[in-house]
Structure 1
Amino acid sequence: MTEGHDVQALSDRDIHVYETVASQAVEWAGGGAGLGGIVRASGLTEEEVRESLAKLVEHGYVVPSGDGYGLGPHTFEVEY
């Protein structure tokens, strides 16, 4: 994980996947978001979601959580 997250380093697709993980985590009361649910909710292909998740995990925005993904420590907010 890199220090000092730079949200500008993320693509629009990465931010969309991050927002999807966040909404899934909120919907499931802080639980992890599974890959299938992220794919369905995002409207992206599984390959696109996997690529974005890899980047988000690398930068620490998303963390593996059981069979899914949860939010890592972050320095920006997502409004709903």
Structure 2
Amino acid sequence: MSEGHDVQALSDVDIHVYEAVASQAVEKGRADLDGLVRASGLPEEEVRACLARLVEHGYVVPKGEGYGLGPHTFEVEY
């Protein structure tokens, strides 16, 4: 995991997949690949590539047979 996550290193598509992971992780405790493909509307290969980048940067962590949220250093305000 890289220190001090750099959100600017992520594309809009990466952030879209991250948001899908976050939504499923809150609802079900983890996100699975099939659910992420459905939720994002992206091809499986693209979701896998985004997940690889998100894991590399520490935003997402493998969790069982799915994915969960990694520790983060940012806040979202609504």
Give 1:77 shift: 3.3
Q: Which runs of 5+ in 2 are unaligned?
A: none
| Distance in 2, Cα, partners of 1:20 & 1:79 | 18
Match of 1:74 among 65, 72, 75: 72
| Distance in 1, Cα, partners of 2:5 & 2:42 | 24
Q: Is the 8 A contact 1:19 1:78 kept in 2?
A: no
| Distance in 2, Cα, partners of 1:49 & 1:55 | 10
TM-score (norm 1): 0.91
For the residue of structure 2 that corresponds to 1:2, the secondary structure is: coil
Question: How many residue pairs are counted as aligned between the two chains?
Answer: 78
The answer to whether 1:32 aligns with 2:30 is yes
* CA RMSD, Structure 1 to Structure 2 (Å): 1.3
| 1:44 aligned residue | 42
For the residue of structure 1 that corresponds to 2:68, the secondary structure is: strand
| Distance in 1, Cα, partners of 2:37 & 2:53 | 16
Q: Which runs of 5+ in 1 are unaligned?
A: none
Give 1:79 shift: 5.9
Give runs of ≥4 in structure 1 deviating > 3 Å: 77-80
The answer to whether 1:6 aligns with 2:42 is no
